[in-house]
Chain A
């Protein structure tokens, strides 16, 4: 009709509403509000807060680079960085090969695959707090501690576990690996399914034995998943908080003090003037490091994937 064409040409707000624009906004509203308020806004605010001194009883004061200077001059920072790196490396050494080997083995056996899969994922289902509290009890340093008793059966002396600088971090990593390996196994299994059977047949035609098939077909096909899992694991372990917090509180003598624990202590530690500026400054530094690290990582692995 004449008036409808008229309004269509004008493209006024009424057209927009009639065209379903309002409904779309209504549908988009939950996502916009939630992500805006509780995701995007805090991220932006974090960047700003890193340069402010926030005391909550007053208004936030501009502090320039003071927070960063404070964090960088904290004698605990090098310790936390070393510990976090140590945790990440140990977690990699334990937590990378084991799920891979497990997944490859599980994909090769003919029977009980479902049973194995369920068992492997079981530790991942247990709430992390429960797992940590349980293992903390297992790690009792007395000779009557559960692990000490078990190892005593095969003649290995009682170990201090969480009560010794050298043993504390590996103890944490052991539990973390136990809890996390299952999820990784499942991811690898899913990827292994995607390996085309023809590749194996082609390799067999070339006279490849089992090892060579695995080395030259299975693993390269998994390369993409492996690279992704590796970087994701590194990013996750760089932010480890629960294990150090619940197992040892960062001790003994800062042996398990990680960067996240430092951030937590800055913001929510027992000193009454909560130092939110320092906490956000350190968060920003960690995030920046992870971003740069990820970029370099993707650059490198891209060139490797294409070779």
Chain B
């Protein structure tokens, strides 16, 4: 992939720099091409805004509409006024704030353990390279090819009765954090990145007397910030989206994340308040995305490169 242009402005095109595409500048001077391109621009704009932004917009609208209006005239423009209380209700009475916090805690823990496992693992596979590295590598990569469904039941039983620890991990966050740390994908992209780091710097550090820990902490990690950013985004997004696994292992409503709790409370919650809760749950990921677009999009593009 070509390097990204480093300009200072915020709104840069992340993935398609000034390189050319199929239509050349000569083509563009032809009037038919010009009108076609203008038309495409309009169509693309309208379709993308309606299809991608439309549902979100409707969600925002409904989150502050009284329930009776939502049920009877959903597309009308606030015939009975705006109901901001929906949001407050969702946050306080339905206690979205608590489930929100749970989601954050789960994401933070998953992020931490994933980073721990992937950076140390990548370090071993790429830099330290002991004799058994190839076995480890093969094992990790082989798990990439196993579909997730195979793990579901036995992982559940393992969490129920973990070998080293005495008691069940069910209903604790460990049951979500630890399995999430086994992300072969992140290990692979981090290992590949470490592979691309210039070995001379490591040699220089070793000559300066750096032991493996110093090398890891003060040399390798700081140089790997971009890839760590991407891996972090993956880890946090995956944790935020997780549904089936927390559904199975976190049975107490008090510790459940949003993804598990929202469907469960729908039948007891006023529709307007419920949609407000949905809106609040969407807000954070969307905001994070808008702020950290580059990392997101770079990561998304990278997943294609890795698998290819």
Taking Cβ atoms with an 8 Å cutoff, the residues of A that contact B are 20-21, 23-24, 27-32, 34-35, 37-43, 45-46, 49, 54, 102, 104-131, 133-135, 137-138, 144-146, 149-150, 178, 182-183, 186-195, 197, 200-201, 204, 210, 213-214, 217-218, 224-225, 228-229, 232, 235, 238-239, 241-242, 246, 260, 263-264, 267-268, 276, 279-280, 283-284, 286-287, 290-291, 294
Contact A149 B162 (CB under 8 A): no
Contact B300 A43 (CB under 8 A): no
- Chain B residues near A287 (CB-CB < 8 A): 146-147, 149-150
Contact B1 A194 (CB under 8 A): yes
Known contacts A27-B124, A193-B16; 5 additional CB pairs below 8 A are: A28-B121, A41-B158, A130-B262, A146-B75, A263-B149
Complex Cα distance A122/B285, Å? 10
Contact B300 A125 (CB under 8 A): no
Contact A27 B123 (CB under 8 A): yes
Bitwise interface map of B from 64 to 104 toward A, beta carbon under 8 Å scored 1, else 0:
00000001111100000000000000000000000000000
Q: Quick one: which of B24, B37, B136, B266 has the most chain A CB within 10 A?
A: B24
Contact A114:B55 (CB < 8 A) given known A187-B301, A189-B301: no
For chain B, the bracket of interface size reads 35 or more
Contact A34 B113 (CB under 8 A): yes
- Chain A residues near B293 (CB-CB < 8 A): 118
Complex Cα distance A217/B148, Å? 36
Which residues, 162 to 191 on B, are CB-close (under 8 Å) to A?
162-164, 178-179, 181-182, 184, 187
A-B contact pairs, 21 of them (CB 8 A): A24-B124, A27-B128, A27-B216, A31-B124, A34-B181, A40-B143, A49-B154, A104-B22, A115-B11, A118-B289, A120-B48, A130-B259, A133-B262, A133-B266, A178-B51, A183-B300, A183-B303, A187-B304, A191-B304, A264-B244, A279-B153
Main secondary structure of the interface of B (DSSP, over half): helix
- Chain A residues near B105 (CB-CB < 8 A): none
Complex Cα distance A29/B71, Å? 56
Contact B117 A30 (CB under 8 A): yes
- Chain A residues near B49 (CB-CB < 8 A): 119
Asked if B197 is at the interface of the complex by the 8 Å CB criterion, the answer is no
Contact A239 B149 (CB under 8 A): yes
- Chain A residues near B240 (CB-CB < 8 A): 127
- Chain A residues near B262 (CB-CB < 8 A): 129-130, 133
- Chain B residues near A284 (CB-CB < 8 A): 150
- Chain A residues near B237 (CB-CB < 8 A): 125
Complex Cα distance A146/B69, Å? 12
Complex Cα distance A126/B60, Å? 13
Contact B116 A30 (CB under 8 A): yes
**Interchain nearest-CB distance for A154 vs B (Å):** 13
- Chain B residues near A135 (CB-CB < 8 A): 55
Contact A105 B44 (CB under 8 A): yes
Complex Cα distance A187/B73, Å? 40
Contact A107 B120 (CB under 8 A): no
Contact A42 B140 (CB under 8 A): no
Contact B158 A283 (CB under 8 A): no
Contact B149 A286 (CB under 8 A): yes
Contact B157 A126 (CB under 8 A): no
Contact B154 A45 (CB under 8 A): yes
Contact A187 B300 (CB under 8 A): yes
Contact A37 B74 (CB under 8 A): no
Contact B301 A186 (CB under 8 A): yes
- Chain A residues near B157 (CB-CB < 8 A): 45, 49, 54, 276
Bitwise interface map of B from 34 to 61 toward A, beta carbon under 8 Å scored 1, else 0:
0001001100110011011101101100
**Interchain nearest-CB distance for A224 vs B (Å):** 5
Bitwise interface map of B from 278 to 295 toward A, beta carbon under 8 Å scored 1, else 0:
100110011011100100
Contact A108:B143 (CB < 8 A) given known A117-B13, A190-B15: no
Asked if B211 is at the interface of the complex by the 8 Å CB criterion, the answer is yes
- Chain A residues near B19 (CB-CB < 8 A): 193, 197
Contact A39 B22 (CB under 8 A): no
- Chain A residues near B147 (CB-CB < 8 A): 235, 238-239, 286-287, 290
Contact B40 A108 (CB under 8 A): yes
Contact B158 A45 (CB under 8 A): yes
Say which residue of B21, B23, B301 sits within 8 Å of A190 (CB atoms): B301
- Chain B residues near A229 (CB-CB < 8 A): 304
**Interchain nearest-CB distance for A76 vs B (Å):** 17
- Chain A residues near B253 (CB-CB < 8 A): none
- Chain B residues near A242 (CB-CB < 8 A): 243-244
- Chain B residues near A112 (CB-CB < 8 A): 41, 45
